[in-house]
Structure 1
Amino acid sequence: MYTSVKFILCNGQNITYQRPNGYREVKTDLIDENSRKRMERSELSLSFHNLIKRDEELYGYTNYAMETPTPSTTPGDCLQGIFQNLDSLTPTGVDSDFDESLAVPESLSVIDVDKINSKEETDASAPLATAVPYKAIHASPIKFNSVHRKVFIPGVEIKVRFVENERSVTTHLLNPNLYTINLQHGDFTWTIKKRYKHILYLHQQLSLYRATLKIPFPTKTHKSRRASFKNTVDTEEKAEKVVLQAVPRSNSKRREGRPRKRKGALPRFPRKPEVMVTYEGIQLRMKQLEEYLFNLLNISIYRNHHETVKFLEVSNISFISELGTKGKEGIIQKRTGSTRPGQAGCNCFGLLGNMVCVRCNYFCTGLVCAKWQDRWLFVKDTFFGYIRPSDGVIKGIMLFDQGFEVSSGLYSTGLNKGLQILNQSRQMVIKCWTKRKSKEWMHYLKSVANQTARDFTYPNVHHSFAPPRAATPVATLVDGSEYLSAVADAMELAREEIFIADWWLSPEIYMKRPALDGDYWRLDTILKRKAAQGVKVFVMLYKEVEMALGINSFYSKSRLASENIKVFRHPDHAKGGVLFWAHHEKIVVIDQTVAFVGGIDLCYGRWDDHKHRLTDLGNISQPKTLIKTKKKTSSSPGGGLYVNYGNGLEAAIELAKSSKDVVIGLNIPFQEEEKAESTEDETKSEEDTSKPEPVLEVGDQLLQIGTRRDSNYDSDGLKRNVLDKITDRGKDFISIIYPPYEEERNEQKFDDSERKKAEKYARSNDEILLTDGIKPRSPSEPTPLAQVVEGRVITESTKKAIDDIEGNSKLWIGKDYVNFIVKDFNTLELPFVDLVDRNTTPRMPWHDAGALLAGAAARDVARHFVQRWNAIKLEKARQNTNYPYLVPKTYSDIKPLQGLEQVLNIEMINTSCQVLRSVSSWSCGFLDPDTVEQSIHEAYVDTITRAQYYVYIENQFFITLSRSSLTVRNQISEALYNRIMRAHRAKESFRVFVVMPLLPGFEGEVGGPSGTSLHAVTHWNYQSICRSREAIITRLYEAGVEDPFEYITFHGLRTHSILDGEPVTELVYVHSKLLIADDRFVICGSANINDRSMIGKRDSEIAVLLQDEQFEDGIMNGKPFPCGRLAGALRKRLFREHLGLMEEDVIKLSVNLDDPCCDQFYNRIWKATSKRNTDIYEEVFHTIPTDSVHTFAELKKYNEENNETLWHKDPALANRKIDLIQGYLVDMPLQFLCNETLTPRNTSMEGILPTSLWT
């Protein structure tokens, strides 16, 4: 290849020459007239090879001036002087042992160019980065050979030291020396092993790279590279000036005589072949190579070159401190399809079952059918993975776990230089270039597994995937108000990632109440706000069977999914063959530093506090009704009438005039009404015909706007009233809460069927928030007389109303007001439309608990989430780069989430914490279908067995039978039985408190055809308690325990309130999954006491076992006993709530909760309070379940006697009785429907389903 250069001008100072792409000017010290004329007439042609060997600045297409050549000794010939200067730079011009065509003069110190900034960029106060930010893991991937790829810490040099040499002349004749090189970059240190040929290859590649930058290829990428090279050279020139200016003025002559560094040049590379280096010269050779690499790595244009990065064995994730140490990295070849069995290859020659000899296996899998691809393998503290170099995408993450294995050799892999790497979820076959590399990889993987990852590769107590973590900051959160508020505050502190795993998630749920800040604390708003700040949000939802459940996970996904919010639904029932089991975990993780676990989903119905309110009408303006209706509760889901009225037409009109819509009356001045006549008839007429105020129902609050209508209730008026309520609902107040226009973007890819659903939801987005007949305001439409405050549009007519909202707002908005037994969820795409009539149906209070973790335990919860996410990614979105693999953070130097305790205002206590779970192949992606973890179950059994004084249990179910049962397999009942019998034989005091729901939370009426599911769960609860040979009470009686209830009691929770002027009652639904033992141990999580949650192969669950490390003086059974600060405080908090002793009531009533085992508390307070409350509820309200009803016939008669309750006979006495109710604790009626068969009939749909669905 040749190129021509035409000199067109030469004067005393400059030479101007022309190339095909333009003019360039260079400077020289001396050019005479004759030389100038000859240059003008001359046209020089030089080969491209000579351009590389000689001074590239002379002929290269650059924007910088050529170095000043040494003046010629013959002033008459300019070109002669130039070529003399060039000849002195040939490789043999000075020392044949070095390639100096790219050398850096020794007289000039090399300065890290990344540290040289312009005046505008220099900031002395800004601290240098010590690591690459963690957010880089989620940055857009860049292919490995891109010039835009940056892997190093800005402004930090790389230190190089050759520390060892292994010489082997027999096996490596030409390159006998294997050098061990230690490198340090910031706080990261690592070791690589290279031969001379590897460094020579790097040198050649960089030389070629620099040469190609001189060729003006007309491509955008090449221009970018050339510009990058120019910037580097300019920066180096600034560095050189800094060095020269540092020389004292007294040495100015010496400074002027100092040779100048040629910009962009490579350091001196020793050219002598390695085979010619004697044993005595190895140390000198190591010194030369060390200097070469050090100087090379401090020039950014070469340091960032992909060949240099590959040589140093670094990548984009090498210097992220949150991922741990640098670890080992390098290029390998991976066999495609080896990540999961059945994906790889070929079944010919009987290889499907590996029923061939090793030679045939090697021939087919390694040579004929296998496809090998280059991958960048990396190993970190607790995981390893690989990247596809062609685009920089992480293609696989494997966690070190108890199934980790690595093997090599023909027998294991069918390859001479191959490795097979296996963990519980994946397997991988890789091939290295040499046997040495293969051995290095295997040795390093094993060393990591035995050191930094040993917490996960060695067996742990309770056979958990994670060990107990000492000194873990923990706080317990009782009821949804504490839990959801803490979750919201923690989300606000997120800077990198938010992980959410839920059985059900409702995007429109309000995390803090009342919603005085509009939708600021609404879940979807919080997540979108954090996503806009660059926080990555990952959500895993249970994908329900739509025919069985109405939780509509697709709607939740479509409302949340965006560029920074990724949502997975799992499992795919038909494809995965999982129809009956669910993902039941409730997890929120912030930056893998703080974690929330427990029984509380981020969904409707979960928010509640210790008051457990039954009604939520706000400052209600309630219409007068003539028909007295029975309230819809769990005792009477169908409602009904108390008495018959003669005038049915009048009653119907009164019903039409009333509304089930809830109205909040505001202190808004209404227009003065006309003065009524003083006669009785006129007054009566006015009362009978006056219309109620218009009803508004919208998002956060329902407001009553001051308007007045005609008061004529003819048939047309009734129609108009209904239409007005439908079309005018929310018009006057919708802009207070929501912006005038909201555009939803869903960048997530769905299949065709899901896309249609998403478009449907997107079109109805505004209609979800409004009601029929109201159209959203267009973006261009102005908002008249409006003010925008924190994103909310406030019209002048409602500005004053805002001031009065605080005392009138509702706590449960729309679908959040729920009674599960009366009405199950539906139409969730209309979140702000009430599910039940608030005027006739009390809500069902919700009692629950959760835990807040920090430190290493939070990392364990995050690791579980990462494992599950990656398993779903591999199964459902393997090729979808929009859904990335997640990586767990390191366990060393965990930095706390800044401001957490101050924001939450919660004391966190250091405890020992172990993360437990129930997972199997379908739920966690294990390769072996027999691999199961049931550490929650084992922890329950072990804690009960070790308990000394008491066990307190709160759970949604109690389905557990003896060891001999063939239907129910969990052993919690067996552990309780054995512990009670041990206490009975030793004549010791031992108490077991069980608190559970009075009825299962399934829609339906007890005794009716709609209550089949409710009956089935009730059956198995009673089978476990007292109605079978394997039941715990039955077994205790048979074992000779005269009164089992001296050892174990079963209770529920119930409360009461006033609705529509009369008292109502409803059970408090116990949903918490708690076990507390001896004021020292706590198990809190998502697992119910049944086989679904406990045995591992069914529902996936997570929990934590907390063991106190800090104690206070306490008492147990009258004896001094150390009381754990966490467990003891949690138990007392729950007892105060259930016994009605919250706040100052404890002192007032002088109830001592310190000793739960003594007879004084157990019999005279706990059991006595429960029995008294139970008797009052049954007498005043005729509640069910009740011990007085044994059959469905008795239940029907019992319900018909509702008009004969004490409330109807003597309201004053009933009120006095109600005042005696203390707290929420009531007895569990163990004789309820004891003479009925509650299992589903075989002809019903529920009867066809397997029994394991209910147990």
Structure 2
Amino acid sequence: MTGEEEQEHGGHRYVRMPPEPPEPEGLAAASSASFRLPESVRVFDELPRARIVQVSRPDAGDITPMLLSYTIEVHYKQFRWLLYKKASQVLYLHFALKRRAFLEEFHEKQEQVKEWLQNLGIGEHVPVVHDDDEADDVHVPSQHDENSVKNRNVPSSAVLPVIRPALGRQQSISDRAKAAMQEYLNHFLGNLDIVNSREVCKFLEVSLLSFLPEYGPKLKEDYVTARHLPKIEMDSKERYCSSCCFSFCSSSWQKVWAVLKPGFLALLQDPFDPKLLDIIIFDVSPCTDRDGDDQTTLAKEIKERNPLHFGFEIYILLYKEVSLALKINSMYSKRRLLNIHENVKVLRYPDHFSTGIYLWSHHEKIVVVDNQVCYIGGLDLCFGRYDSPEHKVVDFPPSTWPGKDYYNPRESEPNSWEDTMKDELDRTKYPRMPWHDVQCALYGPACRDVARHFVQRWNYAKRNKAPNEQAIPLLMPHHHMVIPHYMGTGKETNGVMESKQNLDKDIKFNRLNSLTTPASCQDIPLLLPHEPDHHIFASGDFGLNGMNITNGLSDHANKSNWNQQPVSNRKAKQDLSLQDLQMKGFVDNIGSPEVSVSKHYSTSNPNMQHIDKEWWEAQERGDQVASVLDVGEVGPRAACRCQVVRSVGPWSAGTAQIEGSIHNAYFSLIEKAEHFVYIENQFFISGLSGDDTIKNRVLEALYRRILRAEKEKRRFRVIIVIPLLPGFQGGIDDGGAASVRAIMHWQYRTICRGPNSILKNLYDVVGSKADDYISFYGLRAHGRSDDGGPLVTNQIYVHSKLMIIDDRMALIGSANINDRSLLGSRDSEIGIIIEDKEVVSSIMDGRPWEAGKFSLSLRLSLWAEHLGLLPGEVSCIMDPVDDSAYKNIWMATAKENTVIYHQVFSCVPNDHIHSRYQFRQSFAHRKEKIGHTTIDLGVALENLETQQEGDLACAKPMERLQDVRGHIVCFPLEFMCQEDLRPFFSESEYYTSPQVFH
């Protein structure tokens, strides 16, 4: 062990930071043997000056000299900066300089002895002939060298005044300490070699970037730890750290040199290496020059390039919650959004008191940009929704989910969202609830249908809530966005077209329309469907239990109109040549009127159309996307036929009729399925024919299709993935969790309990073969709360709302499978039906099959994530119907994962707990053994007790969890089967309408 290593490991003072970063190549030898550095790597080329400005101590009663703090002003050329140092730091610097001087002197003596031995013939090399003068130089150091070594050595007596007891009055102490420190600084600031040493440069907080004039004045510099950088290669000596208390020594944390300058923060591997590892650009406060004119700053530049600065407008429609029931605090969101820019318009709806709407909500999740790009699906724009395919349940210390984003509503729902960076949960005790969702990106004509839906809802909310508020404008839909059926009478239509013509003539205002143009109440059409002369009913036998599935759609809805455009989960080039196409006979009587739209630009920005075209052309093309087997978070772009469907009614959109086209779409798609139906949804509450309580008939459609498959003796699969428990606060047995139990009641009533459940009816007809036709699943993940902490698990909350049919068609939107979302008279919803135009070769039921590029890639991506498949294993799930994939992989993985999680955690829900009494017993038993558990028994024991050949054996839970593949688990059909989960009369939910829960 070298002297330097001994010094690093010898005392407690030297474990405050990990070892210094490795020195640049070619520099290590020079710096370890001498203060002298090559001119190219020297920080100072002339001597700096330092002056002690102030001396202070934290406590007047504390006379410890090492606690004295010094404010040092350093001057170098045109640069000036302040240092704040303690006496202890000066002492450490002195020890480091003494060690360096000793090593250098020792090295020089060693070299002299080595050369002297070689001249005597004792060394390894042949003696070299030297003249007398050269020999004398070898044997006896010259006076110059003697003085050089002496000058590079700071005498110990110089530091003694610094560490003398600080006794006396405050002023006298300050004066003596200031004089002592000034004298000591002069010892090494008077030698250019010492000043350029690593120890002094670190003390002075300087590097090779400090004094480059183009980077501005000297600010703060020091070592910091970062974890986002690529791994820095170090030799074994540099990687070795004596202090085990630094967690980053064995993790992704790395120590780097940070240089703070006006406008950026630079990260270097070493202060003597100018090569940048990373640079973070920011801005300083705006300032003015000597003439009083504003200087150009980054913030000002960004602001001027902001689309809002050019007149772009952003319209945000928020659901106004009932504050007693929900704590989402939409008013706080509105205030924050309005503070962004005056062109941001925010409207909350409904106004509960005036409208009398307390039970229903606006549930759409859409973003529309320029009528050309839109995002639609189940993903809320709020905290707790970001996640990755790994679905980690822990994040300690916070790195991915800071503050309120570490979210688990089963444990605790935040009371306030204002302090966003404050943790709601103790990360060392409670896991987060991972979130699984699906969102679709659309490009092309269908986006204008989504925009038209937004305009209709915005205008209706404006008319009802703020008709006279100028800050909230009405929106004028483009003439090609308003279909004749929605224009009302001919007189009203002519008035609107005349208004549009006048608007086109008077388009001199400097504003680029984003969605539409603000207009007055007199100019705007209501976008209300005109009452048809007669009702159009579905051509098929959709009248179930006396209810017409079309729900009174207009005569215009008799045509199934489809828009063809690329669909993707990533941005792609829009094909402007794609035209609107009709597709007849697919979804009967779905009202999605065909409209045409073109890009609309303001005359204030004539170059914007050219810029927009260039942006589109720069995006990735669909033919550049890899194979559908390359699964991931983002799927390929594919040309599809799309149709927008929705659930709206008089209260939500001001329509004269209730529109339930999402409900129609579910029924029609399931009826036309040939081989399989794959569903992911937050809820699964539906009814069969004859059910007077549950009105939607998704369950009836599935039941009929399975019976038809049984009659035809063909294999048919229905796979449904739903949350294991409702994502609301409260344990199964908690007094305040009546809502959780109520939702569980309605879901079990739909699935397997009672005469209206699908499994009960299927067992009566096909017996045990029902499990071959339909099965239910959930998702679960696990992790360790912190280093050495317990293993924890939590359900992955399924929040996606999608259905895939035969790998050819998909339905993605915001609607849950329950009456709230599907009837149209309750929650407002929107979705998109997607039929692939691009086909790829696949397999279905053991035979060749032409699957859709978008639908197949979406299913493979979801299944690979749920099953934990590697990229090379995706091909084994190409056929979702064949037993090799459905039974041997999908079902087998779910069953094995379910067994392992029960053995390790005994978490709920599970098929072994049939009553609340059993749950109480299990909860008390786990809490007694562990001392702490989560609301759903999500903490593992330290050791598992297993039976091996009749003997009791112990095993580590992590060893068992290594056999878990992916996240898929079986949905527990027997959980709480002995309980009536409906609210009791003593619970407030008992007096609430049951429609709230289904």
> In which range does the TM-score fall when normalised by the shorter chain?
0.5 to 0.7
Shift of 1:814: 1.3
Q: Does 1:1165 align with 2:754?
A: no
Q: Work out the CA distance in 2 between the residues paired with 1:1151 and 1:1065.
A: 30
The answer for the alignment partner of 1:537 in structure 2 is: 314
The answer for the alignment partner of 2:863 in structure 1 is: 1135
Q: Does 1:1011 align with 2:746?
A: no
Q: Work out the CA distance in 2 between the residues paired with 1:898 and 1:592.
A: 17
Q: Does 1:553 align with 2:296?
A: no
Q: Work out the CA distance in 1 between the residues paired with 2:730 and 2:771.
A: 31
Q: Does 1:1054 align with 2:780?
A: yes
Shift of 1:1200: 2.7
Contact 2:676 2:716 in 1 (8 A): yes
Q: Secondary structure at the match of 1:886?
A: strand
Q: Work out the CA distance in 2 between the residues paired with 1:1049 and 1:1108.
A: 26
Matches within 5 A, 1:97-496: none
Shift of 1:1015: 0.6
Q: Work out the CA distance in 1 between the residues paired with 2:279 and 2:415.
A: 24
Matches within 5 A, 1:861-1010: 861-889=450-478, 890=480, 891-894=596-599, 898-900=614-616, 902=618, 907-926=636-655, 928=656, 931-1010=657-736
Shift of 1:586: 0.2
Q: Work out the CA distance in 1 between the residues paired with 2:303 and 2:435.
A: 24
Shift of 1:531: 2.8
Q: Secondary structure at the match of 2:835?
A: strand
Task: Say if 1:1032 and 1:884 are closer, same or farther in 2 by CA, change over 3 A.
Answer: same
Matches within 5 A, 1:63-102: none
Q: Work out the CA distance in 2 between the residues paired with 1:900 and 1:1192.
A: 58
Q: Secondary structure at the match of 1:1072?
A: coil
Shift of 1:900: 4.8
Task: Say if 1:1150 and 1:1100 are closer, same or farther in 2 by CA, change over 3 A.
Answer: closer
Letter matched to residue 909 of structure 1: A
Q: Secondary structure at the match of 2:979?
A: coil
Letter matched to residue 1170 of structure 1: A
- The TM-score with structure 1 as length reference comes to 0.42
Alignment partner of 2:412 out of 823, 837, 860: 823
Shift of 1:1100: 0.2
The answer for the alignment partner of 2:224 in structure 1 is: none
Q: Work out the CA distance in 2 between the residues paired with 1:1018 and 1:1128.
A: 32
Task: Say if 1:519 and 1:1115 are closer, same or farther in 2 by CA, change over 3 A.
Answer: farther
Shift of 1:1115: 1.0
Q: Secondary structure at the match of 1:916?
A: strand
Shift of 1:903: 5.5
Contact 1:594 1:897 in 2 (8 A): no
The answer for the alignment partner of 1:1098 in structure 2 is: 826
Shift of 1:550: 0.0
* Structure exhibiting the larger radius of gyration computed from Cα positions: 1
Shift of 1:1107: 0.4
In the TM superposition, structure 1's runs of 4+ consecutive aligned residues that sit over 6 Å from their partners are: 514-520, 525-528
Shift of 1:574: 1.2
Letter matched to residue 1154 of structure 1: M
Q: Secondary structure at the match of 1:1042?
A: helix
Task: Say if 1:1076 and 1:1019 are closer, same or farther in 2 by CA, change over 3 A.
Answer: same
Contact 1:822 1:1003 in 2 (8 A): yes
Matches within 5 A, 1:6-45: none
The answer for the alignment partner of 1:591 in structure 2 is: 370
Contact 2:943 2:956 in 1 (8 A): no
Task: Say if 1:957 and 1:590 are closer, same or farther in 2 by CA, change over 3 A.
Answer: same
Alignment partner of 1:1125 out of 832, 853, 861: 853
Shift of 1:1042: 2.8
For the aligned residues, what is the CA RMSD? Answer: 2.5
Shift of 1:1040: 3.1
Alignment partner of 2:907 out of 1172, 1183, 1186: 1183
Contact 1:1179 1:1206 in 2 (8 A): no
Shift of 1:904: 7.5
Q: Work out the CA distance in 2 between the residues paired with 1:1073 and 1:897.
A: 33
Letter matched to residue 536 of structure 1: E
The answer for the alignment partner of 1:1226 in structure 2 is: 969
The answer for the alignment partner of 2:959 in structure 1 is: 1216
Alignment partner of 2:765 out of 1039, 1052, 1055: 1039
The answer for the alignment partner of 1:1116 in structure 2 is: 844
Contact 1:918 1:1096 in 2 (8 A): yes
Task: Say if 1:919 and 1:516 are closer, same or farther in 2 by CA, change over 3 A.
Answer: farther
Summarize deviations over 1:267-291 as a string: whole Å, max 9, x none.
Answer: xxxxxxxxxxxxxxxxxxxxxxxxx
Q: Work out the CA distance in 2 between the residues paired with 1:553 and 1:914.
A: 31
Letter matched to residue 384 of structure 2: G
Shift of 1:532: 3.7
Matches within 5 A, 1:592-607: 592-607=371-386
Shift of 1:1011: 1.5
Alignment partner of 2:388 out of 595, 599, 609: 609
Q: Does 1:1244 align with 2:987?
A: yes
The answer for the alignment partner of 1:571 in structure 2 is: 350
Q: Work out the CA distance in 2 between the residues paired with 1:1007 and 1:901.
A: 57
Contact 1:613 1:845 in 2 (8 A): yes
Shift of 1:603: 0.2
Q: Secondary structure at the match of 2:461?
A: helix
Q: Work out the CA distance in 1 between the residues paired with 2:325 and 2:924.
A: 32
Letter matched to residue 840 of structure 2: E
Contact 2:448 2:597 in 1 (8 A): no
Summarize deviations over 1:338-380 as a string: whole Å, max 9, x none.
Answer: xxxxxxxxxxxxxxxxxxxxxxxxxxxxxxxxxxxxxxxxxxx
Q: Work out the CA distance in 1 between the residues paired with 2:839 and 2:753.
A: 41
Summarize deviations over 1:538-568 as a string: whole Å, max 9, x none.
Answer: 0000000000000000000011114211100
Q: Work out the CA distance in 1 between the residues paired with 2:898 and 2:798.
A: 17
Unaligned runs of 5+ in 2: 1-277, 285-301, 481-595, 600-608, 622-633, 931-939, 946-953
Summarize deviations over 1:1184-1206 as a string: whole Å, max 9, x none.
Answer: 00000000111111223323866
The answer for the alignment partner of 2:242 in structure 1 is: none
Contact 1:859 1:888 in 2 (8 A): no
Contact 1:1053 1:1069 in 2 (8 A): yes
Alignment partner of 2:359 out of 580, 584, 594: 580
Contact 2:652 2:828 in 1 (8 A): yes
Task: Say if 1:898 and 1:1047 are closer, same or farther in 2 by CA, change over 3 A.
Answer: farther
Contact 2:675 2:806 in 1 (8 A): yes
Task: Say if 1:517 and 1:1254 are closer, same or farther in 2 by CA, change over 3 A.
Answer: farther
Identity %: 42
Task: Say if 1:517 and 1:938 are closer, same or farther in 2 by CA, change over 3 A.
Answer: farther
Q: Work out the CA distance in 1 between the residues paired with 2:793 and 2:620.
A: 34
Alignment partner of 1:812 out of 382, 401, 404: 401
Q: Secondary structure at the match of 1:1018?
A: helix
Letter matched to residue 565 of structure 1: V
Shift of 1:881: 2.5
Contact 1:587 1:595 in 2 (8 A): yes
Shift of 1:887: 2.8
Q: Secondary structure at the match of 2:376?
A: strand
Shift of 1:875: 1.1
Letter matched to residue 563 of structure 1: E
Q: Work out the CA distance in 2 between the residues paired with 1:826 and 1:576.
A: 27
Matches within 5 A, 1:574-973: 574-618=353-397, 810-889=399-478, 890=480, 891-894=596-599, 898-900=614-616, 902=618, 907-926=636-655, 928=656, 931-973=657-699
Summarize deviations over 1:950-969 as a string: whole Å, max 9, x none.
Answer: 00000000001112111110
Q: Work out the CA distance in 1 between the residues paired with 2:343 and 2:477.
A: 19
- The TM-score with structure 2 as length reference comes to 0.52
The answer for the alignment partner of 1:1024 in structure 2 is: 750
Shift of 1:1084: 0.2
The answer for the alignment partner of 1:1155 in structure 2 is: 879
Q: Work out the CA distance in 1 between the residues paired with 2:304 and 2:965.
A: 41
The answer for the alignment partner of 1:672 in structure 2 is: none
Q: Secondary structure at the match of 1:1176?
A: helix
Q: Secondary structure at the match of 1:595?
A: strand
